Amino acid sequence: PAHAALVPQGFGAGVGRIGEYFEQGNWYRGGAGQMLFTAWLYGTQHDPLAPRLQKGIAQEDLLRLQRFYDMAPEYPRVNWKEALSHLPIQDIINNVNGPNGIYEEMITRKPNDARWYQGGLYHDDMPFDKPSFWFVSWYDVSTSPNLALYNHVRKNAVSQKARDNQYLIIAPVLHCAYTRATENTVVGERSVGDARLNYDEIITAWFDLWLKNEDKGKIDSMPKVTYYTMGSNKWQTSEVWPPANAKMTTYYLDSKGSANTRNGDGLLLAKLPKTENKDTFQYDPMNPVNSYGGNVCCTGNAVQGGSFDQSEMELRDDILVYTSEPLAEGVEISGFIESFLYLSSDVKDTDVTIKLIDVYPDGKAYNLDETIQRVRYREGYDKEVMMEKGKVYEIKMTPMSTSNYFEKGHRIRIEVSSSNFPRFDRNLNTGGNNYDESEGLVATNSIHHGGVYPSRIVLPMIR
């Protein structure tokens, strides 16, 4: 009852299930494991054999002991770029002589495991009834589920008071890096302009309103949503998310069968191609596509988050590249991005990955968001359905999110593959548990498009 209001920032680790998102505290994305928690738990889980102070210790004794003993020791540093490659996944922390704890149990949980619903995660069947000012980042690990939670609370909070008092700011920064924006904010290696905002003033006004009943006018004058559009490099406002004037616009995948690499013939077209075709690549889990930038946190030196030029990565033969013609006029994409891909394979289970890219006239290709789908969960996270060899399946990808202005002459691009490692764990393609396996199979995966296979990406466009 004493909880008057809150300001959640970078809050995805508290999100369990929201609609179609089964993140379970950022543990999963599309049923694939997010490896950030392997590195994060190394430094935070509590070893049951660690020294502990006795119960009921007096404060004066605690203060005295703190002079002699480190109450928050720094664990030995780990080269996570190397450590996360160890197999099986369940042994990674043990392999670097890390602490015993909950990791080995958590890694065995499936996306809809009952144990996820017994802890402190918020699920969409729970009540919520507090005024909230939500802070999200475009390059955080959980942008889309965070935005979905904001929308869920605005619609489903218990009281009208709570439903009417949900505010949102989306900044063009990494996880919990709001105050690091500068006059020239660079996220990864892409400059997104002057993204500064007076967060202290906003948060103070918020708590003044709900804790002191002061400064009501400042909050009342604010829009419900304040978001930063990269490319045009400006703050914008809306009363809803996505903006009401965003129109879902479909681009279809097309090629003559050779979309491999950026030098291939993959296209994004406004009309569904009548001719059916497919693009095929080999996915070897022992040689996965490496994560380069992206929407990530907490992986040590394994992945540096943010926007980086992907053009060199796009020379890999196991990345399919589909690109629009240069835009005749600038267009803004702001909102949730949906994608549907038609896949066949020669293994029981594999992953499908996708990235959304802004391609500059000079060829630089900056990543905006990315997602993944473990194919065994294509029919829901309460069951596992393996594939039949050669059969074509529709894969609905977990939605991405961004706000980016594609200038005239820029091109819209997507990359499709089967790995994005170590952002996500590698699917070993066996149909087994994955977490306790050390050997994988090479998969021959094909993306089908055109005709009866309308592989597509659906973009929230503002012209």
Q: What is the pLDDT of residue 357?
A: 98
Q: What is the pLDDT of residue 46?
A: 85
Phi-psi region of 148 (alpha: psi -120 to 50; beta: other; left: phi over 0): alpha
Q: What is the pLDDT of residue 74?
A: 82
Q: What is the pLDDT of residue 125?
A: 97
**DSSP string over 412-435:** EEEEEES--BTTBPPP-SSSS-ST
Spatial distance between the Cα atoms of 222 and 217, rounded to a whole number of angstroms: 9
The model carries a pTM of 0.96
Tokens representing 246? 């965003």
Q: What is the pLDDT of residue 198?
A: 94
Selection from 341, 345, 344, 342 nearest residue 355 by Cα: 341
Q: What is the dihedral of CA 103, 109, 110, 114, to 10 degrees?
A: -130
Residues of the chain with pLDDT below 50 are none
249 strand-pairing partners: 459
One-letter amino acid identity for 334? Answer: S
First to last CA, the chain: 46
Q: Which residue has the tokens 């203060």?
A: 63
247-462 architecture in CATH?
Sandwich (2.60)
Whether the CB-CB separation of 347 and 429 falls below 8 Å is answered with yes
Q: What is the pLDDT of residue 218?
A: 86
Tokens representing 271? 């009309």
Tokens representing 318? 């196991």
Average pLDDT, the chain: 96
Whether the CB-CB separation of 440 and 428 falls below 8 Å is answered with yes
Spatial distance between the Cα atoms of 415 and 261, rounded to a whole number of angstroms: 9
Q: What is the pLDDT of residue 406?
A: 98
Query: What would the pLDDT profile of 60-119 be if each residue is shown by its tens digit?
Result: 999 999 999 888 788 899 999 999 999 999 999 999 999 999 999 999 999 999 999 998
Give Cβ neighbours of residue 350 (< 8 Å, ≥ 6 apart): 283, 343, 375, 387, 418, 427, 429, 443, 445
Query: What would the pLDDT profile of 287-334 be if each residue is shown by its tens digit?
Result: 999 999 999 999 999 999 999 999 999 999 999 999 999 999 999 999
